[in-house]
Amino acid sequence: MPALSPEIWSAIRLTVQLAALTTLILIIFGTPIAWWLARSPRWYKEVVGTLVALPLVLPPTVLGFYLLLALGPDGPGGLLAQSWGARTLAFTFEGLVIGSVIYSLPFVVQPIRNAFEAMGDRPLEVAATLRASPARAFWTVALPLARPGLLTGAVLGFAHTVGEFGVVLMIGGNIPGETKVLSVAIYDFVETLRWREANILAFGMVVFAFLVILSVTLLDRRLRRRAK
Amino acid sequence: MSGDIIEAAFEDRFERFTLNAAFTAPNRGITALFGPSGCGKTTVLRCLAGLERVRNGRCRIGGETWQTPDTFIPPHRRAIGYVFQEPSLFPHLTVRGNLLFARRGQPPAGAAETAAFDDLVSLLRLEPLIDRNPERLSGGERQRVALARALLSRPRVLLMDEPLSALDQEAREEILPFLERLHRTLDIPVIYVTHDLQEIERLADWLVLLERGRVIASAPLDRVLGDPALPLARRRDASVALDAQLAGFDAAYGLLELRIAGATLRVPGTPPDPAGPLRLRIRASDVSIALAPPGPSSILNILPATIVSAQPQGATDMLVVLQLGAAGEEGTRLLARITRRSWETLGLALGQPVQAQIKGAALAFA
């Protein structure tokens, strides 16, 4: 294996950091959203569900454009940035995290919501008749039973953030060590005709994507069999 | 007084039927909610548990108020045990984990508590299953675990929703003896939903009869079974179920002598171990009527009785209610199905002393 340049290593490190942080945030905030979407009897939950699903169909440039406005000096993100003396959240790692969280939200929320819906009311009713409060039922019954969905959501969220390109280009630009993630680095290498580096990274991504999908499928099958 | 009864009244309109069910039952023994499917019996049970919240409901059990039009205690604050129709074990926990789930969130277990856990595990023969996953249990085994789990939450009332109906005949026969033993050894009132008459004859003490969302009777088992005005007595397989005391055992012929109010019967069987109350089932079609004691007969049980009521049934039959014992005595009531022709030929009438010939009396359980 040829030695990778520090430039490439920096892009890999940055990508992994971004994807890991995004996934963590999405699991923490996406799980309650998924729970509410699965269990609430309110009709307007589907409006919220649609908002969550929007990044699936919107062109990344549209999302990136609005994020750019929101994170820029005149948007709420800029106001936030001023509180620690910066001028804007656009073209920063923090801004990239915010963008990734929104962009990957449906990939995490949907599998978790499906898992909560698939278990039905019965396990929670059983827990209630065994004196478990709704909170205890959530932690000790609903979450463990939704584990396949949580795992799928985490893996998809991570992988999708790794593969993100359009939004990053719009709000992150191409700053090495700060916003230059793998997908942007590949684009950059091609632009500058550095085919060898582009090849290495592109093939690496193909292998990564293959392994992710394969492991999700196998994991899902195993957990599903166990849950029966 | 109000401490030892169950009072319930639930009213609401559902998509498929209107519920307007009110009944009072003793807060002891097994009370069965019985009726055809779709009559609302499961809904009533879910209301008692608080799993369903109807618009207009009242529920008091053993002096505790769980629901009025203004208050609603959520299910996890009600001291109930609930056994669902299909054994709903947590698939992510072992049998032990399922059992201990019922114990968590409660005051720490003392020595007596631990002993109760062990007793229950051995009563329901769960020792060999304790470290298995639910997926590796049979349907009957799962339901036994579910029953133990419900009991371990220390309920003040045990609610059971057709706990045997999802099981095959073999598994059913495996569970029924456990239920009977619980009935005799544990002092927890049980409300038991079923549409199976045989389960009622074996288990119930009190019967609440439901029809299209309404309660049409709530009374002791023998009164409901033997009331010709109610649908159970009009069934082809109508019978009465009677609690009996063991009076003796004729080992030479294998016959038990059983005492019921107003009579003693001889029934094939073996004395129960441990000695406890026994239950007899006597079908209406197994009881015939004679005017005078017949001569020598192969029928073992021929008892003096009085005709209390009679009703034509179909084109050919009469359903007769007999009271055992000499006239004026408050004896056990039996049903007899005879032909209308016999009724007229013998010149039978209400209040008439007759002889009840019981061709087959059988223990409802051994």
Region B250-278 average pLDDT: 82
B92:A128 CB<8 A:
no
Q: Specify the pairing of strand B278-283 against strand B287-290.
A: unpaired
The structure tokens listed for A1 are 């294996």
B69, B12 Cβ separation under 8 angstroms: no
The structure tokens listed for A109 are 């929320």
Using an 8 Å CB-CB cutoff, list chain A residues near B50. 128
Q: Report the 10 Å Cβ neighbour count for A121.
A: 10
A131:B149 CB<8 A:
no
B76:A132 CB<8 A:
yes
Region A161-180 average pLDDT: 88
Surface of B (144-163) touching A: CB under 8 A: 149-150, 153, 159
Region A130-156 average pLDDT: 93
B81, B39 Cβ separation under 8 angstroms: no
Mutation site for B-interface testing, chosen from A129, A136, A223, A225 by largest number of B Cβ within 10 Å: A129
Superfamily (CATH H level) for A6-227: MetI-like (1.10.3720.10)
B356, B334 Cβ separation under 8 angstroms: yes
- Per-residue model confidence as pLDDT tens digits over B159-178: 999 999 888 888 888 888 88
Residue B62: φ, ψ to 5°: 50, 45
* Closest Cβ opposite residue A141 in set B50, B90, B102: B90
Report in angstroms the alpha-carbon separations of A116 from A50, A106, A213.
18, 15, 22
B101:A128 CB<8 A:
no
Chain B residue whose CA is closest to A143? B92
Tell whether B136 lies on the interface with A, counting CB pairs under 8 A.
no
Rounded Cα gap, residues B193 and B109, in angstroms: 32
Domains of chain A by residue range: 6-227
User: If you ran DSSP here, which 8-state letter would residue A73 be given?
Assistant: T
Report in angstroms the alpha-carbon separations of B125 from B122, B135, B136, B141, B324.
5, 18, 16, 9, 41
Using an 8 Å CB-CB cutoff, list chain B residues near A228. 91, 135
For chains A and B, CB pairs below 8 A equal 66
pLDDT of residue B1 exceeding 50: no
Q: Percent of chain A having pLDDT more than 90?
A: 64
Q: Specify the pairing of strand B361-363 against strand B263-268.
A: unpaired
User: Three-state SS across chain B?
Assistant: CHHHEEEEEEEEECCCCEEEEEEEEECCCEEEEECCCCCCHHHHHHHHHCCCCCCEEEEEECCEEEECCCCECCHHHCCEEEECCCCCCCCCCCHHHHHHHCCCCCCCCCHHHHHHHHHHHHHCCCHHHCCCCHHHCCHHHHHHHHHHHHHHCCCCEEEEECCCCCCCHHHHHHHHHHHHHHHHHCCCCEEEEECCHHHHHHHCCEEEEEECCEEEEEEEHHHHHCCCCCHHHHCCCCEEEEEEEEEEEECCCCEEEEEECCEEEEEECCCCCCCCCEEEEEEHHHEEEECCCCCCCCCCEEEEEEEEEEEEECCCEEEEEEEECCCCCCCCEEEEEEEHHHHHHCCCCCCCEEEEEECCEEECCC
- Per-residue model confidence as pLDDT tens digits over B84-136: 998 899 999 999 999 999 877 566 666 777 777 888 888 888 999 999 999 99
Instruction: Kindly report the length of chain A.
Output: 228
- Per-residue model confidence as pLDDT tens digits over A71-107: 988 888 888 888 887 888 888 899 999 999 999 999 9
User: If you ran DSSP here, which 8-state letter would residue A74 be given?
Assistant: T
Rounded Cα gap, residues B126 and B143, in angstroms: 11
Given CA atoms A192, A196, A201, A206 in this order, what sign does their dihedral have? positive
- Per-residue model confidence as pLDDT tens digits over A7-49: 889 999 999 999 999 999 999 999 999 999 999 999 999 999 9
Rounded Cα gap, residues B290 and B295, in angstroms: 11
Q: What is the mean pLDDT of chain B?
A: 87
Tell whether A128 lies on the interface with B, counting CB pairs under 8 A.
yes
* Closest Cβ opposite residue A130 in set B92, B149, B159: B149
Which range is most confident: A144-158, B254-268, B292-306? A144-158
B167, B330 Cβ separation under 8 angstroms: no
Pick the CATH number of B240-363 from 2.40.160.40, 1.10.1740.10, 2.40.50.100, 3.40.50.10860: 2.40.50.100
In chain A the first and final C-alpha atoms are separated, in Å, by 44
pLDDT of residue A3 exceeding 90: no
Chain A residue whose CA is closest to B51? A125
Using an 8 Å CB-CB cutoff, list chain A residues near B76. 127-134, 137
Q: What is the ipTM of this complex?
A: 0.84
The alpha-carbon gap from B336 to the nearest alpha carbon of chain A, in Å, equals 44
The alpha-carbon gap from A45 to the nearest alpha carbon of chain B, in Å, equals 22
Sheet holding B287-290, edge to edge: B287-290, B353-358, B301-313, B317-324, B333-339
Region B26-34 average pLDDT: 92
Using an 8 Å CB-CB cutoff, list chain A residues near B49. 129
The pLDDT, as a whole number, for residue B162 is 93
Using an 8 Å CB-CB cutoff, list chain A residues near B153. 129-131
- Does this model's pTM top 0.90? My answer is no
Domains of chain B by residue range: 2-225, 240-363
Can you tell me which residue has the tokens 């419900």?
B150
Region B314-330 average pLDDT: 82
Rounded Cα gap, residues B59 and B72, in angstroms: 9
| Beta carbons within 8 Å of B68's beta carbon, 6+ residues apart | B57, B58
The pLDDT, as a whole number, for residue B275 is 64
B84:A126 CB<8 A:
yes
* Closest Cβ opposite residue A132 in set B84, B105, B159: B105
Q: Specify the pairing of strand B263-268 against strand B255-260.
A: antiparallel
Region B5-28 average pLDDT: 91
Q: Specify the pairing of strand B190-194 against strand B30-34.
A: parallel
The alpha-carbon gap from A146 to the nearest alpha carbon of chain B, in Å, equals 10
Amino acid at A184: V
Region B79-88 average pLDDT: 92
Which residues are B16's β-sheet partners?
none
- Burial degree of B293 (CB within 10 A; 0-12, 13-18, 19+): exposed
What confidence category does residue A127 fall into, taking pLDDT thresholds of 50, 70 and 90?
Answer: very high
Using an 8 Å CB-CB cutoff, list chain B residues near A132. 76, 101, 104-105
Chain A residue whose CA is closest to B136? A228
The structure tokens listed for B302 are 């021929």
Pick the CATH number of B2-225 from 3.40.390.10, 3.40.50.11740, 3.40.50.300, 3.40.50.1950: 3.40.50.300
B88:A228 CB<8 A:
no
Which range is most confident: A91-100, A218-227, B264-273? A91-100
